[in-house]
Amino acid sequence: MKLTLDALTVLDAIDRKGSFASAAQALFRVPSTVTYTVQKLEEDLGFAIFKRAGRRSVLTPAGQVLLDQGRQLLVAAQEVVNSAHQVNSGWEAELNIAIDTVWDIQRFYSILTEFQQLNSGVQVNITEEVMGGTLEAIIEQRADITIGGPPPVSAIAGIQFESILNTQWLFVVAKDHPLTSLPLPLTEHDIEPYVSIVIRDSATQSPIRPHRSLTARPRLRVANMEQKIQAQLQGIGVGFLPKHKIQPLLDSGELIELEIEKDAPVTQQFCAWHSTNPGRAAQWFVDKILAEKKVNQGI
């Protein structure tokens, strides 16, 4: 490799300081060392990097391209060093958290704010998953932690699950929907003519079959819970929604809960994490999520 990080550091200093002498002073080197570094690099690369403009040394067009892209290498190299120090301290360089669309992400933001105040340097990445996709994310190690997902069908080695929420599902419609004028409880025959809003499972390998679906036809498939809520709020269709995510809309009367013959389900949402090699950040988040569960349950 003809181009080194040290040579890029020298070029950067010359450009910022305006002269070889000033760059040498900033780098705590003798001027001859800086001059030799540039001459050797020009010889190795086969083109001039600097040219004289009065008393200043300015970059040639080729030199400018070399330095502009070289600075990106300097930043990347520093990030590599920082990540290594991060891991050596016990904190992960990066933490991936997948949040199921059923979960109320507002409940997570206060935890995230508290974590950021630790100034750990951990890069936190948040993604949204649906049903089977949440399980798939933790199994395939696309996520270090999942929040609000369904339970596993069976035990999975190296992954720990704990229930964090019992979700009550309500059959709801928009306030002016035709179903609000029918006698209750509604039958499958009453509901069948109307569009059923269904969230598409984000799993790519083995999607979990929806357990809150109706026999209504046709269906409108949406990407997440927020889209489903909005579709039902606008009267586009009907379906079950989690009570904890729509309580303000129920209180305001924008959504109406309707009794149906089919039992409204209650499901458990889980937190899952890799138990074999937890880093400090993963363990911190898991502890906080489980502690919040105990507070909410009055434990």
pLDDT tens track for 129-147: 998 899 999 999 999 999 9
Query: Going from the N-terminus, what domains does the chain have, and what CATH number goes with each?
Result: 5-88 (1.10.10.10), 92-299 (3.40.190.290)
Per-residue pLDDT reduced to its tens digit, 164-208: 989 999 999 999 999 999 999 999 899 999 999 999 988 887 655
Please say if the pLDDT value at position 287 is more than 50: yes
Number of neighbours of residue 197 by Cβ within 10 angstroms:
23
Q: Are 269 and 150 in contact (CB under 8 A)?
A: yes
Tokens of 132: 């089977």
Per-residue pLDDT reduced to its tens digit, 57-99: 789 999 999 999 999 999 888 878 767 766 666 688 889 999 9
E-strand ranges in 62-144 read: 94-100, 123-129
More confident residue, 280 or 218: 280
Which residue, among 80, 74, 76, has the nearest Cα to 7 in the 3D structure? 74
Can you tell me the distance from the alpha carbon of 156 to that of 196, in angstroms, rounded to the nearest whole number? 34
* Spatial CB neighbours of 45, under 8 Å, sequence gap ≥ 6: 2, 3, 66
Per-residue pLDDT reduced to its tens digit, 200-253: 988 887 655 555 555 546 789 999 999 999 999 999 999 999 999 999 999 999
Of how many residues is the chain composed? 299
Can you tell me the distance from the alpha carbon of 140 to that of 274, in angstroms, rounded to the nearest whole number? 11
